[in-house]
Structure 1
Amino acid sequence: MKNWIMVSLLWLGLGGIVNPARADSPITSTPIADVYLDIPLVKTARKTGTLTPEMAQFLSSNQHPIDQKAALINALSWRVEGKQNARIYENFLRSRYGELNLKKLTPHELFGLAYLTVMDDYFNPERAMPLFDQALLRNRQSLTVGLIRILNRAQIVMAQPGEWCRVWRLADGTNRNRTLRTDLRPAARQIILDYMVLYRDSCPRNL
């Protein structure tokens, strides 16, 4: 956490040299849940901020699309001091499978656990990256998984300006990939892209 505070102070000290909007956190600055408040459980998650058994069941059910699950997790939101929703979901998965074995989890469950992990502790996004990588390997055609994973990658490289262009190109390439399922509402997709475009001017010739 101290490193993040130092980086933020550096950005503020640089004034106009670095776009101050980049000092925002990718994970906490992309409220895709706003687009899904017509779903009662997402609306409840926004109010309570804590994962309930009903919400855990929602995340593990194969009857709900992955973008709605992402929206629910996003609605649970974050706190500077951290949350425990990933741990709650881990306990649910243990009761479901008898143990927490990642190989037994469905692609949606892997993604849910990854997203909950970074939302709970966005100062340490590297903890979630292996889970996102596995989720993507098992759900390569999902635009939702691809874009949320890139947000986590952006969270990791916030203090590494040399990586900002690469992250933008990953986001732009994923968005333009017509082979992916468009399993994310257009307005939610735009929320993510509107944030990620802030990294574009780090690329040569503003590509």
Structure 2
Amino acid sequence: MKKFIFLILVLGVNIKVFADSPITSTDIYKAYTNMEIVKHAKECGLIAPAEVEFLRDPLKPIDEKIAIINAFGWEVDGKDNANKFSNIAYGKPFDSLDLNSLNGNDLFVLGYLKIMDNYNSINTPLYLINKAAEEDENLKKSFTYNIIKALILGQDLMRTDFCQVWKVTDNVLNDKSLTQDMKQSAVYIIVDYIKGYKEYCK
């Protein structure tokens, strides 16, 4: 009986991890539902040419791009929006792309699309995010860029150290050198979830 109860508890923890994480539980898009393109992304869940055009436009705000990607949502079985973006933008699947030829914006977009497509696969999204800042130095000073990177890192860290999930995000929140390019209401959404990890820092 004790073994059965223990198994239930372990399964319960695993279910929580899958359903509750930095990537899956930060609904940033909710701060941008005044935008038709964000509402459309939420309704469809799949990227279309209109979203690709917006996401590739260098004049569009970075936080609005993140809101669109966030609105696509996630699924336990995974999604395929990064591949669809690649096919629409470049006429070829993601695996056929020469990543060294992409600009910082597209690398960043693909990185966040990748983690939303499969929140359990960290390496490729993190590589893309880091490479984006190598291609575009301005991203290093962007609050939006850094907070998204922190959420991706947190997604990995939660497997081993809940406290570090809080710390890596808190470091960004307290970095006054960053350009504040995300709606404060979106920041509140992130903090409201991530602060739950602070209690493990004892």
Is TM more than 0.5 here?
A: yes
Q: 1:157 to 1:10 in 2, by over 3 A?
A: farther
Per the alignment, residue 114 of structure 1 pairs with 111
Query: Does structure 1 residue 168 correspond to structure 2 residue 159?
Result: no
Per the alignment, residue 3 of structure 2 pairs with none
**What CA distance in whole angstroms lies between the structure 2 residues aligned with 1:193 and 1:27?**
13
Per the alignment, residue 21 of structure 2 pairs with 25
For residue 185 of structure 1, report the CA deviation from its aligned partner.
0.2
Residue 128 of structure 1 aligns to a residue whose secondary structure is helix
Instruction: Look up the equivalent residue of 2:76 and give its one-letter code.
Output: V
Paired residues of 2:82 and 2:114 also in contact (CA < 8 A): yes
How many correspondences in the alignment? 189
**What CA distance in whole angstroms lies between the structure 2 residues aligned with 1:9 and 1:134?**
40
Query: Does structure 1 residue 38 correspond to structure 2 residue 54?
Result: no
Instruction: Look up the equivalent residue of 1:200 and give its one-letter code.
Output: K
Paired residues of 2:154 and 2:164 also in contact (CA < 8 A): no
Paired residues of 1:135 and 1:145 also in contact (CA < 8 A): no
Unaligned regions of 5+ residues in structure 2, if any? 1-6
Query: Does structure 1 residue 140 correspond to structure 2 residue 143?
Result: no
**What CA distance in whole angstroms lies between the structure 2 residues aligned with 1:101 and 1:21?**
34
Paired residues of 2:129 and 2:149 also in contact (CA < 8 A): yes
Per the alignment, residue 4 of structure 1 pairs with none
Per the alignment, residue 190 of structure 1 pairs with 188
**What CA distance in whole angstroms lies between the structure 2 residues aligned with 1:144 and 1:108?**
12
**Superposed CA offset, 1:106-158 (max 9, x none):** 22211110010011111223331111222244310111111111111111122
For residue 25 of structure 1, report the CA deviation from its aligned partner.
1.8
Residue of 115, 123, 128 corresponding to 2:125: 128
Correspondences of 1:43-122 after superposition (within 5 Å): 43-95=39-91, 100-122=97-119
Residue 140 of structure 1 aligns to a residue whose secondary structure is helix
For residue 88 of structure 1, report the CA deviation from its aligned partner.
0.6
Unaligned regions of 5+ residues in structure 1, if any? 1-6, 15-19
Per the alignment, residue 151 of structure 1 pairs with 151
Paired residues of 2:82 and 2:110 also in contact (CA < 8 A): yes
**What CA distance in whole angstroms lies between the structure 1 residues aligned with 2:91 and 2:64?**
23
For residue 8 of structure 1, report the CA deviation from its aligned partner.
9.6
Query: Does structure 1 residue 10 correspond to structure 2 residue 10?
Result: yes
CA RMSD, Structure 1 to Structure 2 (Å): 2.5
Which 10-residue stretch deviates more, 148-157 or 52-61? 148-157
- The alignment-based identity, stated in percent, is 34
**What CA distance in whole angstroms lies between the structure 1 residues aligned with 2:13 and 2:57?**
48
Paired residues of 1:22 and 1:199 also in contact (CA < 8 A): no
